[in-house]
Amino acid sequence: MAKKITELKNKYGIDKGSSLTIEKLENFKPLIEKYMSYFTAYPDLYLDLITPAESYFVLYFYQRIFLRAALRFRYQYVTAPRAFSKSFLGILALYLRCIFLPGSKVFICAPVKEQSIKIAREKILEIWDLFPSLRQELLAKNFSSDEIRLTFKNGSIFDVVSALNSQRGGRRHAGIIDEVRDHEQDMLNSVVLPLMNVSRRTSNGEININEIQQSQLFITSAGTKGSYAYEKQVELFQKSILNPKSAFVWGCDYRIPVLHGVISKEYMEDMKTSGTFKEEDFAREYLSIWTGGSSDSWFNYDKLGKYRKIINPETKAIKVKENPDAFYVLSVDVARMGAAQSVICVFKVLPREMYYLKKLVNIKVLTEMHFGDQALDIKRMIQKFNPKSIIIDGNGLGAGLLDFMIIPTLDPHTKEILPAIGSSNDEDLLKMQPRDCKKLIYVIKANQSLNSEIHATCFSELNTGKVRFLIREREAKDKLLMSKVGKKMKVEDRIIRLMPYEMTTRLHEEMANLRIKSGGSVQNIVLEQINTKMPKDKFSAFEYGLWHIKKMEDEEMRKRSRRRKSKLVDFLMMN
């Protein structure tokens, strides 16, 4: 017995002469268990208890949320700006886990191992400086140029791992994935996350069924929507809804650090007004907004943003005094009921001397609607805009919609019979549709060659600056709320009013999620989705319309060229 007591004193640094017996430990066991369970759920209160009396350190409210979530949930995903102390809080949380749960093996993994080592060393030293007693929990430490390893007296281990194949086969119980946005998906999924396949066992070799196992802490600044990091965030957000006890997904922008004086308000104002700091970079780094751009994207997301000039969406035809020749074009990407959304893009075309300026003035999404209902909505829009042409993909699903477009439709609200709308170019429809119907529909039957031409036209039109879009929804919301009408508007009406702006942003995100498929060529452009879970229906409707308008433009320019040539002949003196 005396030998056992001596071993305990030596291992845990108990002062010589202290009264300690096995019986006394057994008597205090219920109290120890109670406090260990309590501090595991409320680690911030444990830190309050051990903070030196002379220290001015105080945990902020959001830091308490972070620490509690890290020890209560299997998954925590935090998107936060610079100066949030993401890495410090993450390392502190796992350090406490090592103390409260003996035999825990935890790690931190940054995109580059040297980065992990630098971050871990810096934050651990900061933790020891703020809470000196935490250093007493260690049995050994190794701070070398290529390794960080802390061994605790209770058998727990904290170390740094790298996203390399050499880590395969390792075993850990919890980990921090630092700056998720900069990690490679394949290495995380095949090497790092599988490290946590095993559960921690207690000293008697059993698994505590009440313990949070395989705890994964994802921390990052915002990145691009086409990335693995964003996809993982969405996955865990869905998990937090379906099983609220398993995942906690949250974040904030720069206002939280500013509120607590971590970042100065003046500094942030300078950043926002700086001409050298891109708006999209500011949105990601300080507003925690995931944007649409990707390094693999065929379309430049930032450049698309420069063409967002239109202030007001249009819900019906509006005449342009300075350009009486302006006209509208509708383009439709079709989906069956219960599948992806059908999308209608509304273009306002302003003929100029040498080209057409195309304005995307509205985007309407039809969700889970029968072809008959879709046809009804399209015919209602025809009444409102009186378009010069309607482009519909006639392959596959589009054929079902076309069947309803070429027959009269009863509007159940107005009891009005909306007439049949026919095609001007499809041979099958020309045989089936009424002879006296308006022939507004231009049917596209896309194939590989035509798709390549459509992609190329879309890319060219955007790069030459001949397309304009609605302004960003944040800007539109600010303008709306500053107006008298906007202030009085009901919430539901405000959502409907702002929807076209949001749909425009979604369109740009879809475009930024597209890249040229490997093996394609200039003559045969094939696009594929970077993130396969993100749809591309808005882009399809958009590029169909843009391609058709360009054909109309080219034909008009040829006519003008012929007229100019014929007029020139009148000036020549010829017999």
Is residue 292 predicted with pLDDT exceeding 80? no
What are the φ and ψ backbone dihedral angles of 171, each rounded to 5 degrees? -135, 125
Please give the single-letter amino acid code of residue 265.
K
pLDDT reported for residue 336: 59
Is residue 19 predicted with pLDDT exceeding 80? no
Rounded-to-integer distance, Cα 516 and Cα 526, Å: 6
Residue pair 401/375 in contact (Cβ under 8 Å)? The answer is yes
Least confident among 96-105, 232-241, 294-303, 348-357: 294-303
Q: How many other CB atoms sit within 10 Å of the CB of residue 125?
A: 12
pLDDT tens, 172-208? 888 898 888 888 887 888 888 888 888 888 777 788 7
Least confident among 42-46, 72-76, 144-148, 168-172: 168-172
Strand partners, 143: 148
Binning pLDDT at 50, 70 and 90, where does residue 572 land? low
Rounded-to-integer distance, Cα 513 and Cα 227, Å: 9
Quote the Cα angle for 470-346-472, to 5°.
15
Packed helices 43-50 and 22-41: angle between N→C axes, nearest 10 degrees: 120
pLDDT reported for residue 8: 55
Is residue 351 predicted with pLDDT exceeding 60? yes
Between the alpha carbon of residue 360 and those of residues 53, 127, 301, the distances in Å are 63, 54, 17
Is residue 343 predicted with pLDDT exceeding 60? yes
Between the alpha carbon of residue 168 and those of residues 24, 118, 193, the distances in Å are 44, 23, 10
Residue pair 535/225 in contact (Cβ under 8 Å)? The answer is no
Return the exposure string of 79-90: e unless at least 16 CB atoms fall within 10 Å of the residue's CB, then b: bbbebbbbbbbb
Count of residues making up the chain: 575
Q: How many other CB atoms sit within 10 Å of the CB of residue 113?
A: 18
Alpha helices by DSSP H, 131-214: 185-187
Distance of CA 128 to the CA centre of its chain: 36
Among residues of the chain, what percentage have pLDDT more than 70?
90
* DSSP assignments along 21-52, one per residue: -HHHHHHHHHHHHHHHHHHHH-HHHHHHHHS-
Is residue 569 predicted with pLDDT exceeding 60? no
Domain boundaries, the chain: 25-201+209-259, 301-559
Q: How many other CB atoms sit within 10 Å of the CB of residue 177?
A: 24
Binning pLDDT at 50, 70 and 90, where does residue 384 land? very high
Mean pLDDT of 497-515: 91
pLDDT tens, 70-117? 999 999 999 998 888 889 999 999 999 999 888 889 888 888 878 888
Between the alpha carbon of residue 244 and those of residues 28, 217, 236, 297, the distances in Å are 35, 16, 10, 34
Q: How many other CB atoms sit within 10 Å of the CB of residue 465?
A: 11
Quote the Cα angle for 418-419-424, to 5°.
135
Is residue 249 predicted with pLDDT exceeding 90? yes
Residue pair 295/364 in contact (Cβ under 8 Å)? The answer is no
Mean pLDDT of 555-565: 83
**Can you name the CATH fold of 301-559?**
Nucleotidyltransferase; domain 5 (3.30.420)
Residue 234: partners with Cβ closer than 8 Å, 6 or more residues away = 533
Least confident among 226-230, 344-348, 431-435: 226-230
CATH code of 25-201+209-259, in short, is: 3.40.50.300
pLDDT tens, 471-499? 988 889 989 988 888 888 898 899 999 99
- Please give the model's pTM, rounded to 2 decimal places: 0.67
Rounded-to-integer distance, Cα 388 and Cα 382, Å: 9
Question: 3-class SS at 358?
Answer: strand
Between the alpha carbon of residue 33 and those of residues 86, 121, 197, the distances in Å are 30, 31, 27
Closest CA to 507 of 474, 551, 549, 540: 540
Between the alpha carbon of residue 211 and those of residues 157, 176, 193, 326, 467, the distances in Å are 18, 18, 19, 67, 56
Is residue 347 predicted with pLDDT exceeding 70? yes
Binning pLDDT at 50, 70 and 90, where does residue 377 land? very high
| Token pair for 478 | 């600010």
pLDDT reported for residue 79: 93
